[in-house]
Structure 1
Amino acid sequence: MKTIIVGGGKVGYNLLKTLKGRDYKVTLIERDKETCKKIAEDFNSDVIWGDGTNLDVLKDAGIEDAEIIAAVTGSDEVNLVTCQIAKVSFHSKRTISRINNPQNIIMFKKLGIDNAVCSTEVIANLIEYAFDQEDYRVISTLERGLMIITELSIRENNIWSNQFVKDLILPKECVLVSIIRGETVIYPRGNIQILEGDKVIVITNKSVLASLVCELYDGGNKKWMLGKKK
């Protein structure tokens, strides 16, 4: 999967470094030529000298094949335009924008930007979690990425399928928030049964989420996810 970063300043540089450390395929776009040279020298990655709001530059960066566009320049206006171009012209799956002025967060969300955040680490985590499967997706992160709100889709072969909430044994770092069944939101109680086709919303952290995904979808050891409470 491919990520495009627009902006090679401190945030873009550190974001590229973080994602390369996680072995992601990343292309960075930066309008300053000297900054491009420095980044290209520091990383074995595709670096393009150009304007991230230019359609031809975005095409050269491979936006048509990109899963995520992260606009992290020092200008909220440039970041907004870049993300809107990615959405409207290239139908990008996910757009993430750095926000320099917190007052712009609500406006960005109303204009269709998937995530508007301030922290480099949060952006990196959002990109990592965005590479999700059809079985689960990260909705949002809280407290600079320490808390993760995730939607888990229940399939026929999931160990949660047809189980009652009272029979689930979860770590203390995981809270079951709600169950979405069609158009209905169910607030979980012990006698609520989880059914195939439900979407279960949980709040957890990074390590527990990895275990949840392993147990539900990758055939993990199922040590702590199901059993009668004593």
Structure 2
Amino acid sequence: MKVVVAGAGSVGRSIARELLVNDHEVTIIDRQPSAMRVAQVPEADWLLADACELSTMDEAQVGECDVIVAATGDDKANLVISLLAKTEFGVPRVVARVNNPKNEWMFDDSWGVDVAVSTPRIMTAMVEEAVAVGDLVKIFTFHQSGADILEFTIPGNSHLIGHTVGECEWPQDTVLAAIVRGDQPLSPQDDDTLEAGDELLFVTGSEVNLEALQKLLAGE
């Protein structure tokens, strides 16, 4: 897979390194000479230029890439990069970094964004997930579809304990995608028995009543 990463800061470089480890082709773009830390990601192609310019995207062959990641520290730049990538070059997958959560509402398909990643929101979800047992925690929202990934940790006094997955009736448009038991992810089977401490990962449609799902899980 060919990926262009706009923004050579710590976030962009980290993304590039992970992609290269997985044998993808990566081009990194940044307009700041001080960001050209080529030695830190030597396997990538580097381009010193403004990713908000069409000429730069042409030079980086954005039209041939599978994914572009707008990972700069400037939300305005990330939106412009996303819009140009989608409308001018038809990039199939556009991932954009949201620096300020107040701007998150703009990062949708109207700006060419397929997936918006808000670090503060994800960190908040991880904090909640770490301390919340018996509460439904939203981990991630897919902006294109509106679907959510939700997590629920089964408390020790839950009515779910001892029941099999097949005995549980989840709301419409709700899928139990995985069970994490200890450090082992399990693919749910109808005859799997639920245990205290199991982390249930759900994927839900945009119309699902999350309050109703919480009540169902809590046995109310």
TM-score range, shorter chain: 0.5 to 0.7
> Which runs of structure 1 show a deviation greater than 3 angstroms over 4 or more consecutive aligned residues?
175-178, 200-208, 224-229
2:80 is matched with: 81
Change (3 A) 1:66 1:170: farther
1:107 is matched with: 106
1:127 is matched with: none
- Distance across 2 between alignment mates of 1:4 and 1:41: 17
Q: Deviations over 1:44-89 (max 9, x none)?
A: 1101110111112112212111111110111000000000000100
Q: Judge conservation of contact 2:73–2:99 (CA < 8 Å) in 1.
A: yes
1:204 is matched with: 178
- Distance across 1 between alignment mates of 2:179 and 2:84: 32
Q: Judge conservation of contact 1:5–1:28 (CA < 8 Å) in 2.
A: yes
Which runs of structure 2 are paired with 1:1-230 in the superposition (5 Å)? Answer: 1-36=1-36, 38-40=37-39, 42-109=41-108, 111-112=110-111, 113-119=113-119, 143=139, 149=149, 187=172, 202-204=176-178, 225=189
Q: Judge conservation of contact 1:177–1:203 (CA < 8 Å) in 2.
A: no
- Distance across 2 between alignment mates of 1:110 and 1:69: 14
Q: Deviations over 1:152-190 (max 9, x none)?
A: xxxxxxxxxxxxxxxxx879xxx9967xxxxxxxx27xx
Change (3 A) 1:205 1:106: farther
- Distance across 2 between alignment mates of 1:63 and 1:75: 20
Q: Judge conservation of contact 1:79–1:98 (CA < 8 Å) in 2.
A: yes
- Distance across 1 between alignment mates of 2:43 and 2:116: 28
- TM-superposed CA distance for 1:111, in Å, is 2.4
- Distance across 1 between alignment mates of 2:95 and 2:50: 17
Q: Which moved more, 1:91-100 or 1:40-49?
A: 40-49
Given the two structures, how large is their TM-score scaled by the length of structure 2?
Answer: 0.57
Letter in structure 1 aligned against 2:51: G
- TM-superposed CA distance for 1:203, in Å, is 3.4
- TM-superposed CA distance for 1:118, in Å, is 2.4
Q: Deviations over 1:112-166 (max 9, x none)?
A: 411111239x8xxxxxxxxxxxxxxxxxxx6379xx85xxxxxxxxxxxxxxxxx
Letter in structure 2 aligned against 1:30: D
Letter in structure 2 aligned against 1:15: I
Q: Which moved more, 1:111-120 or 1:91-100?
A: 111-120
Q: Judge conservation of contact 2:68–2:95 (CA < 8 Å) in 1.
A: yes
- Distance across 2 between alignment mates of 1:13 and 1:201: 35
Q: Number of residues paired by the alignment?
A: 154
Q: Judge conservation of contact 2:104–2:118 (CA < 8 Å) in 1.
A: no
Long gaps (5+) in structure 2: 123-137, 142-147, 150-163, 194-220
Letter in structure 1 aligned against 2:15: L
Long gaps (5+) in structure 1: 123-141, 150-168, 179-186, 189-199, 213-223
- Distance across 1 between alignment mates of 2:100 and 2:45: 29
- TM-superposed CA distance for 1:227, in Å, is 7.2
SS of 2:108's equivalent?
A: helix
